[in-house]
Structure 1
Amino acid sequence: MKKYMSVLTISAMFATLPLAHAAAEPMSTLAGTWQLTAADTLYRDGHRVHGFGDNPQGRMMVDSQGRYAIEIYRVETTNFVSGNKATGTPTELRDAMLRNSVHYGQVVLDPVHHKIVFDVERAVYPNWEGKRQVRDYTLTGDRLSYQVPASATGDGTIAISEWQRIHD
């Protein structure tokens, strides 16, 4: 009986791993530092707005093992009047939370299905931690774009992030 449980345990472990290596793109494809060029929101009626303001700032860094860190910020903000984040007003705290998207973990490309998969380890928004985010992507040379599906945003919009690789 113990033998069978081991086989079942091993099978279950494989089911939870990231995409199969055969379908995954080598991480050298994404490895490097990327600068955010757009963080937009696409509405159901087709109009597109800047989801993080007119001049969003951000970086994505991916190492050769697929470990990543992403930081996206809306530049326009107001400082906390108290000068102490522990005593911020509800409005200041809400603005601070909504002005960024920050997370890190593992990333894999699935070029067969045109999916980029983020396995989030830690995030400013705690609901993402330990979750898998699957996005449609396009990668053309040093330009990467991916879209958060409407079902994940919860409001019917599609979030679009666009990146440009930075060369030394």
Structure 2
Amino acid sequence: MKLKIAASLLALALSAGAAAAQPAKNLKEQIVGTWNFVVAEVAAPDGKKSFPFGETPKGVLIFTADGRFAQIHVAGDVPKIASNNRMTGTPEEYAGIMRRSLSVFGTYTVDEAKKTVTYNIVSSSFPNWEGEAQTRNIDKLTDDEFVNTNPNVGGGRGSASNFYRRVK
């Protein structure tokens, strides 16, 4: 019996030592994966907060190990097109969709020292961003949560923080 306990304690000590010997992952390694979009919060210069995709949006952010990303943000209440044909919507329907959804993809780089991620945008549903490099602060990055902030949202609207939860 004492031998079993000693063997168990030795195995536990060895596994703990092996886990401790594992080097900590850098930010680039931690960011890789698929993240569900939780919410985006814009803080205006006057301190007022808004939620451009509503408080219950849908979406995903994917980072690959080879430096590619894709992001889709959609409000939970994006209006449907009455004709059920995406090519024959009304101007009002198209405006509602454009205001309440955003997709973007390209490549990314991580600056470990500055704790930032830069999106090098290949294309976007907002075409003005095509070819831009946009840097976001990495505010929080754990196994389960990722929060990044764009400190300078276009049009002087303030800063935008995006909250994500890792897909498991």
Task: Please give the TM-score of this superposition, normalised by the length of structure 1.
Answer: 0.77
How far off its partner does 1:61 sit?
Answer: 1.1
Query: After the TM superposition, which segments of 4 or more aligned residues of structure 1 sit over 4 Å from their partners?
Result: none
5+ residue gaps, structure 1: 1-24
Per-residue deviation, residues 61-110 of structure 1 (Å, max 9, x unmatched): 11111111111110102221222222211111111112211111111111
The residue type equivalent to 1:64 in the other structure is A
The residue type equivalent to 1:128 in the other structure is W
State the partner residue of 1:22: none
Query: Quick check: 2:37–2:60 contact (8 Å CA) kept in 1?
Result: yes
State the partner residue of 1:38: 39
Identical counterparts, % of pairs: 25
How far off its partner does 1:129 sit?
Answer: 1.2
Question: Cα RMSD over matched residues?
Answer: 1.7
What CA distance in whole angstroms lies between the structure 2 residues aligned with 1:164 and 1:78?
Answer: 25
How far off its partner does 1:155 sit?
Answer: 3.1
What CA distance in whole angstroms lies between the structure 2 residues aligned with 1:140 and 1:32?
Answer: 12
State the partner residue of 1:90: 91
The residue type equivalent to 1:163 in the other structure is Y
Alignment size in residue pairs: 142
What CA distance in whole angstroms lies between the structure 2 residues aligned with 1:108 and 1:139?
Answer: 17
Query: Quick check: 2:54–2:76 contact (8 Å CA) kept in 1?
Result: yes
State the partner residue of 2:50: 49
State the partner residue of 1:144: 146
5+ residue gaps, structure 2: 1-25
Greater C-alpha radius of gyration: 2
Give 3-state SS (helix, strand or coil) of 2:95's partner.
helix
Matches of residues 10-159 of structure 1 in structure 2 within 5 Å? 27-142=28-143, 143-150=145-152, 152-159=153-160
How far off its partner does 1:45 sit?
Answer: 2.2
What CA distance in whole angstroms lies between the structure 2 residues aligned with 1:140 and 1:129?
Answer: 27
What CA distance in whole angstroms lies between the structure 1 residues aligned with 2:146 and 2:138?
Answer: 7
